Amino acid sequence: MTRDDSTKYALPAPSLFAADSYEYVLPKEQIAQNPVEPRDHSKLLVLQRGTEKCEHRHFFDLPDYLEAGDLLVLNNTRVLPARLLGEKVSSGAHVEILLLRPVCDDWTYWEALVRPGKKLREGHEVRLVDGTFLYVEKVQEEGIRLIRFPRNVNVRAVLDRAGEIPLPPYITDTSAERERYQTVYAEKEGSVAAPTAGLHFTRTLLETLHTKGIEIAFLTLHVGLGTFRPVSSSDIREHAMHREYYSVPPSTAEALKQVRHKGKRVIAVGTTVVRCLESASETTLSCGGDGDTDIFIYPGFRFRVIDGMVTNFHLPRSTLLMLVAAFAGYEKTLNAYALAVAEKYRFFSFGDAMLVL
């Protein structure tokens, strides 16, 4: 059933560049610990930018808002089992390593976060739970370590044996299977977190969209630390994003050309797709290609590619919330979040979704 709901929540006049302007109150019980089953039965808050109303639907209603010829763009990255447990060889102290991104093609060297940070300094050696040894080569900026695997080690096999999927820290009590934190179309390995807007799609829903004439294209953005690192500066313009790898296939670049030629819409599934498309708009989008992006999208940004987006509900003070506010409008976004809290929507990675058109 469709229900209209006016956004009536009064907001103070904000400074759009103040990080405090992106705070909101969320009851702990609305942080989703487990996903809804089936995937597409999560709730969907539909925000039309040209109106002051929101609609309350379910994700399987998404085709109702799309037309034949519209293009859905999805991120087909796959989450690596990048969380490694072990002990410091010299002391036996327990340590945790989160691999962020490889810095060479054979995966021998990685940028990583470690915990506790004070126990792992340059030159220290770590023994993983499967017996593999790692070495801390260098301590880089912001506590990131450069980690080295032995050259004779198959790193992929080590991750399969000893690695865990690195669920976000706010998911503390879940019974979800490992594969549930992957999209049904996940293919290109390299992320340390899922592109969560895509977790709502089922193969049946994708087939329904295809049957309706809605085009579907894929790109890859490997989600790293940059997407989820909180904004600690009081002025968001002082926040620096970490670089993330992306790739736009030539077939997707051609699909984008065709949808523009037909006068139809480009709908990005997730903030990672938004960042990839808008980053590539001046470089690789015309014919496809790959690159790295550290784009930070916040209110005032001029969008060149997307006409709509599917997204989850994001953490306070996060760059993802700021991106949504840039596209939907600050007041409409924060009003929609207040409404979602009042209506008991489920938040964050395993939570409900929002469609902005």
- Residues 37-64: tens digit of each pLDDT: 999 999 999 999 998 789 999 999 999 9
Q: Please give the Cα distance from 147 to 138 (Å, whole number).
A: 7
pLDDT given at position 5: 45
Three-state SS for 308-337 is: EEEEECCCCCCHHHHHHHHHHCHHHHHHHH
Domain 83-162: what homologous superfamily? QueA-like (2.40.10.240)
In this predicted structure, the answer to whether residue 3 has a pLDDT above a threshold of 60 is no
Mean pLDDT of 260-268: 97
pLDDT given at position 243: 87
Mean pLDDT of the chain: 93
Strands 188-191 and 133-139: unpaired
- H helices of the chain, in order, are 155-162, 203-211, 225-228, 250-262, 271-280, 319-328, 330-342
Mean pLDDT of 334-357: 98
In this predicted structure, the answer to whether residue 33 has a pLDDT above a threshold of 80 is yes
Q: Cis (ω within 30 of 0) for the bond into 116? A: yes
pLDDT given at position 141: 80
Residues 36, 1, 39: CA angle, nearest 5 degrees: 20
- Classified as helix, coil or strand, 43 is strand
In this predicted structure, the answer to whether residue 316 has a pLDDT above a threshold of 50 is yes
pLDDT interval class at 98 (50, 70, 90) = very high
> What is the 3-state composition of the chain as percent helix, strand, coil, each rounded to the nearest 5?
30, 30, 45
pLDDT tens per residue, range 185-244: 999 999 999 999 999 999 999 999 999 999 999 999 999 876 667 899 999 999 999 889
Mean pLDDT of 322-337: 97
> Domain limits of the chain?
3-79+175-356, 83-162
In this predicted structure, the answer to whether residue 11 has a pLDDT above a threshold of 60 is no
pLDDT given at position 53: 86
pLDDT tens per residue, range 124-179: 999 999 999 999 999 988 788 999 999 999 999 999 999 999 999 999 999 999 99
Mean pLDDT of 316-321: 96
In this predicted structure, the answer to whether residue 29 has a pLDDT above a threshold of 90 is yes
Mean pLDDT of 85-98: 95
pLDDT given at position 120: 86
pLDDT interval class at 118 (50, 70, 90) = confident
Lowest model confidence (mean pLDDT) among 68-77, 118-127, 243-252 = 118-127
pLDDT given at position 12: 44
Residues 205, 284, 265: CA angle, nearest 5 degrees: 40
In this predicted structure, the answer to whether residue 14 has a pLDDT above a threshold of 90 is no
- CATH architecture assigned to 3-79+175-356: 3-Layer(aba) Sandwich (3.40)
